Amino acid sequence: MTDTVLPTARRVPWAAVIAFTVLACGLAWLVALPLWLGDGLAEPFAGVILPVMMLTPAVAALIVTFTMRTPARGRRARFLGLWPLRPAKRIVWLLAAAWLVPPLLVAASILVSAALGFVQLDLTFGAFAVELEEALPPGSPVPPVGVVVFAQIAMIPLAALLNAIPAFGEELGWRGWLVPALRPLGTWPALLISGAIWGVWHSPVILLGYNFGRTDVTGVLLMIGGCVAWGILLGWLRLRSASVWPAVIAHGALNAAGGLIVIFAAAQPDLGLAGPLGVAGWIVLAVVIAVLALTGQFRRQPELAGAHGRMLSAPRS
């Protein structure tokens, strides 16, 4: 399997893309409906509904794959990036980068937030100590906040792997199915469109205040921005490795580290500005993406299986 930048005449299977998008978003709204009919994110079973919602892109991808035969039988595992794991050496180092780099990018977004005045940092963790005390049952002993913070940070690598399990449900749909389906448009259009769809898909919970605490269209727009930024990076991992697994691990690592800003903030921050999905995160990711683009990393891609089973070379973008 060799890298290539050859153009391709393959076309986007638009009917399948539209069906996938409608299914993924429709199923997400269906799963989130009990939250809308109840107390929103305050519902006791919200912690169950959110992981179930993460499965809906995978369900949509499987429905489209088997009912519309996109991709065609014979290369489905390869099209979805599940198998084979070749070139093995590249996939291994991309898996390692996917596991370790997203938490560093989240940490960098915290520093950018502080530098731009989006958040005031408190290295004594006073605000976090108050939240910790309020989260415990009345009368319960409060553990030393420094120990809790250390444990939270030390657990991120393991939490990344655990979070990768539900993240697989999303990644099989977004980077496993949708990015290769859109790839004939060119690398950049495929990454931008898939990222925007990913952001819109979050609407059922974003409009309830999830992530940004905003219950109007501004929350959705912020999520689209964050998903486009992170989607470019996750999509690069997908296309550079010809495998969905690095994107799965990176998504899990992002979710594991996403709450770090709350630990270090002196007060509840505006996550639309200071969070990893907010403006500070966009700035950090823009720098990383620019470096990857300037070093030709988006043009160096192994072949993928086309939607109809034929090999698909990287189009010019």
- pLDDT over 80 (residue 2): no
Express each pLDDT in 146-165 by its tens digit: 999 999 999 999 999 999 99
- Residue 41: how many other CB atoms lie within 10 Å: 14
Per-residue tokens: 138 = 């009345």
What's the pLDDT score for residue 193? 98
What's the pLDDT score for residue 284? 98
The residues, ordered by sequence, that sit 6+ positions from 54 with a Cβ below 8 Å of its Cβ are 166, 167, 169, 170
Read off the pLDDT band of 307 (50, 70, 90).
low
CA distance 278 to 276: 5
Express each pLDDT in 34-49 by its tens digit: 999 999 999 999 999 9
Average per-residue pLDDT in the chain?
92
Burial readout 233-267 (b: 16 or more C-beta within 10 A, e: otherwise) = bbbbbbbbbbbbbbbbbbbbbbbbbbebbbbbbee
Cα dist from 262 to 64, 272, 275, whole Å: 39, 13, 9
Express each pLDDT in 209-218 by its tens digit: 999 999 999 9
Q: Which of 127-136, 175-184, 212-221, 269-278 comes out lowest in average pLDDT? A: 127-136
What's the pLDDT score for residue 303? 74
- pLDDT over 70 (residue 198): yes
What's the pLDDT score for residue 305? 59
Overall pTM > 0.85: yes
For 108, half-sphere exposure in the C-beta direction (CA atoms, 13 angstrom radius) is: 14
Chain mean position to CA 263: 21
Express each pLDDT in 254-304 by its tens digit: 999 999 999 999 998 999 999 999 999 999 999 999 999 999 999 888 877
Q: How much of the chain is in helix, strand and coil states, percent to nearest 5?
A: 65, 5, 30
- pLDDT over 90 (residue 1): no
